[in-house]
Amino acid sequence: IYLPDKHYHNNQKYMTELRNRYLSEYLSADYSLNDSNSVGGSYRYYGKLNCRTNSASQQDVFLNGVAQGSIGQNEVAKPHLGSHEAEIYYVGKIGQVGIDFNATYYTVNNRRSDESIESSKELGNQEVHSSNRQNSDMWAGKLVVNIPLWKGNMSVGTELSKIDSHGTFLNEEQLVPSTETDIHERNIAGFAQYGLVLSKWTVGLGVRYENIVRDYLSDGVKQDDVSRKYNNFFPNLSVSWNKGNWNWQLNVNEKISRPSYRQLGNFMQFDNRFLYEGGNPTLQPEKVFNVEAMMTYK
């Protein structure tokens, strides 16, 4: 660990015993209305039940190269997770128009309690007790319509999603501040894609628009400095050419990568007096611009 005027170096031996029980269930059903139309749905449950992690470690601490002492540590972590996911869909055709619709509801409850006991003659004893809970819900729907157009196919569609996440963290000794946070996100997207085949050429051109409103609250109060609004366009282009044994392809697209619930969570894990782990609700999405070109010969 490097600080402006200090350099900590720790040698640590670590042993862990895991006892986990998992439960996973999946149910699905579908029904064909006719040769061109079908509907269906599914339900999935996944859970961690009666999980426990026991850890024991011994670490030697050095400050600027000088031995400071040894710390013995015993930890007990009790995580619990339960998630439910339900989905319905319709796939079919009305005349020459293809329709693909699906809707999803997902909810997850993640909680954990931690106890850490550190013993050291030179550096003092320390006990840390903490607990956290993260509840998240998501509603999402997607509709895609495929229409034959000229010598190609036109796809247009929309996506809607609503995400709510509530997290609490409590540290009894207040070594780490206790927190309560809420994240509310609304996402509206529209997209269009056109594919065309001309002799030896295949061309695809599309664009996606996203409008996202993300509100972040701490202890019930909206935090304007970390709440966000996004309006983004994401174009994409694909071109391929085939002749005999030769094939050439070009793909250009722009995408966005967003932090996961765990990365955004206020969960804080106490590893030892020198090291904490946790999420960061202020993390921002990352744009990725990708260009790929490839030529092959068979």
- Specify the pLDDT at position 179: 87
User: DSSP secondary-structure letter at 258?
Assistant: -
The H-or-E segment that residue 239 falls in is strand 228-243
> Which runs of consecutive H residues, i.e. helices, occur in 127-260?
none
Backbone dihedral angles phi then psi of residue 262, each to the nearest 5 degrees: -65, -40
Does the pLDDT at position 267 exceed 80? no
The reported pLDDT for the residue numbered 261 is: 61
Residue 111, pLDDT score: 94
CB within 8 Å of 112: residues ≥ 6 apart = 77, 78, 79, 80, 131, 132, 267
Name the residue type at position 283.
L
- Domain segments of the chain as ranges: 8-297
Is a pLDDT exceeding 70 seen at residue 268?
no
What is d(CA 205, CA 198) in angstroms, rounded to the nearest whole number?
A: 14
Distance separating alpha carbons of residues 62 and 121, to the nearest angstrom: 15
Does position 69 have pLDDT exceeding 80, yes or no?
yes
Min mean pLDDT across 44-53, 67-76, 212-221, 265-274 is at 265-274
The answer to whether residues 31 and 40 touch, using CB atoms and an 8 Å cutoff, is yes
CA–CA distances in Å: residue 149 to residues 34, 155, 196: 25, 10, 9
How far from each other are the two terminal CA atoms of the chain, in whole angstroms?
54
Tokens of 123: 């550096």
Q: Phi then psi for 264, rounded to 5 degrees?
A: -85, -15
User: Strands 179-198 and 286-297, how do they pair?
Assistant: unpaired
Output the pLDDT for position 182: 93
Q: Which H/E stretch holds residue 1?
A: none
Asked if 219 and 230 count as a contact pair (C-beta separation under 8 A), the reply is: no
Q: What is the pLDDT of residues 168-223, one digit of tens each?
A: 989 999 888 888 999 999 999 999 999 999 989 999 999 999 999 999 898 999 98
* Strand, coil or helix: 260: coil
SS3 content of the chain, % helix, strand, coil (to 5): 0, 80, 20
Q: How confident is the model at residue 6 (pLDDT cuts 50, 70, 90)?
A: confident
Task: Write out pLDDT tens, residues 225-245.
Answer: 778 888 999 999 999 999 999
Percent of the chain with pLDDT over 90: 75
Q: Dig out the tokens for 220 from the structure.
A: 């019930």
Residue 23 has pLDDT above 90, yes or no: yes
143-144-145-148 Cα dihedral, nearest 10 degrees: 180
Picking from 153, 161, 136, the residue whose alpha carbon sits closest to that of residue 204 is: 153
pLDDT of residue 127: 95
The pLDDT of residue 61 is above 70: yes
**Token reading at 82:** 């339960």
Tell me, what's the pLDDT at 271? Answer: 78
Calculate the average pLDDT of the chain: 92
- Helix (H) or strand (E) run with residue 96 in it: none
Residue of 264, 241, 262, 237 whose CA lies nearest to 251: 237
On whether the CB atoms of residues 50 and 82 are closer than 8 A, the answer is no
3-state secondary structure of 264: helix
- Say if pTM beats, i.e. exceeds, 0.75: yes
Per the structure block, which two tokens stand in for 83?
């998630």
Please tell me whether residue 261 adopts helix, strand or coil conformation.
Answer: helix
Count of other CB atoms within 10 angstroms of residue 36: 13
Per the listing, tokens 């904490």 go with 276
